[in-house]
Amino acid sequence: EIVLTQSPGTLSLSPGERATLSCRASQSISSYYLAWYQQKPGQAPRLLIYGASSRATGIPDRFSGGGSGTDFTLTISRLEPEDFAVYYCQQYGSSPTFGQGTKVEIK
Amino acid sequence: QVQLVQSGAEVKKPGASVKVSCKASGYTFTDYYMHWVRQAPGQGLEWMGWIDPNSGGTNYAQRFQGRVTMTRDTSISTAYMELNRLRSDDTAIYYCARVIVLLAGPGLDYWGQGTLVTVSS
């Protein structure tokens, strides 16, 4: 099973600041199979990024993804109030797994 | 519009079984795999498995093998997830989610609203 480790566990930032979230895989994975989700309290997750760097429909361009091999990142260029949430990476291999999540909270 | 509507909350005793349904609308049910993901209270997301609604083929996470069964009824565009021999640590919100496979990669693009399953004696 591929383990995804996200860091940091919590990111405390102010609106307007840049957020950089990390997702590290226990073994190399194809960028094709790496996705990111946002989850707000009481809601189902929402697809943000697929294929490591492609934004899903309706996702603002302040969200960007990158990386390859074992190291992937999600960047939010300027945090808006609605961006404070928990973010998960997922690898979609033969046995998909999720990272444990990074909480982006208001400083 | 695409919608996934799940069945209501359940309370079960340890050792019992639960069957959660996920009714799809707004798209051709058999064209997209359906995944099941759960989330224990205050915890992260855990992938459980998927079903191909077209063939009925399934793929389960190893930790649920032998305890989970995913089925579908194409006549009513509904997927089901049954979990047996429930334990207290199965208490969680269970989600169904459709997977879309785009040129650049796959992703779970539509999710059900979630079904809370509480296991308590």
How many CB pairs (< 8 A) connect A and B? 74
User: With 90 as the cut, is the pLDDT of residue A69 above it?
Assistant: yes
Q: Tell me the pLDDT tens digit for each residue of A32-51.
A: 999 999 999 999 999 999 99
User: With 90 as the cut, is the pLDDT of residue A56 above it?
Assistant: yes
Q: Which contacts qualify for B55-64: CB closer than 8 Å, 24 or more apart?
A: B59/A94, B59/A95, B61/A95, B62/A1, B62/A95
Q: What is the pLDDT of residue A41?
A: 96
User: With 90 as the cut, is the pLDDT of residue A91 above it?
Assistant: yes
Residues of B in contact with A92 (CB under 8 A): 99, 105-107
On whether any CB of chain A is under 8 Å from the CB of B106, the answer is: yes
Rg (chain A; Cα; Å): 13
Sign (positive or negative) of CA dihedral A54, A56, A60, A64: negative
Binary contact (B104, A98; C-beta < 8 A): no
Q: Tell me the pLDDT tens digit for each residue of B10-67.
A: 999 999 999 999 999 999 999 999 999 999 999 999 999 999 999 999 999 999 999 9
Q: In this complex, which of A44, A47, A52 lies closest to B114 when CB atoms are compared?
A: A44
Q: What is the pLDDT of residue B80?
A: 98
Give the Cα separation of A13 and A40 in Å (integer). 17
**Smallest CA–CA separation between B8 and chain A, in Å?**
15
In a 3-state reduction of DSSP, which class is residue A85?
coil
**Residue from B22, B27, B37 whose CB has the most chain A CBs within 10 Å, to mutate:** B37
pLDDT grade for B113, boundaries at 50, 70 and 90 = very high
pLDDT grade for A96, boundaries at 50, 70 and 90 = very high
Q: What is the pLDDT of residue B107?
A: 92
User: With 90 as the cut, is the pLDDT of residue B101 above it?
Assistant: no
Q: What is the pLDDT of residue A94?
A: 79
Q: Which residue is associated with the tokens 């790496």?
A: A34
Beta bridge partners of A11: A104
Q: What is the pLDDT of residue A53?
A: 96
pLDDT grade for A85, boundaries at 50, 70 and 90 = very high
Question: E strands along chain A, which residues?
Answer: 4-7, 10-13, 19-29, 34-39, 46-50, 54-55, 63-76, 86-91, 97-98, 102-106
pLDDT grade for A68, boundaries at 50, 70 and 90 = very high
Q: Which residue is associated with the tokens 């809601």?
A: A43
Residue B41: both structure tokens together: 């209270």
The chain-wide mean pLDDT, for chain A, equals 96
**Residue from B100, B108, B109, B113 whose CB has the most chain A CBs within 10 Å, to mutate:** B108
Residue bearing the bigger pLDDT, A95 or B72? B72
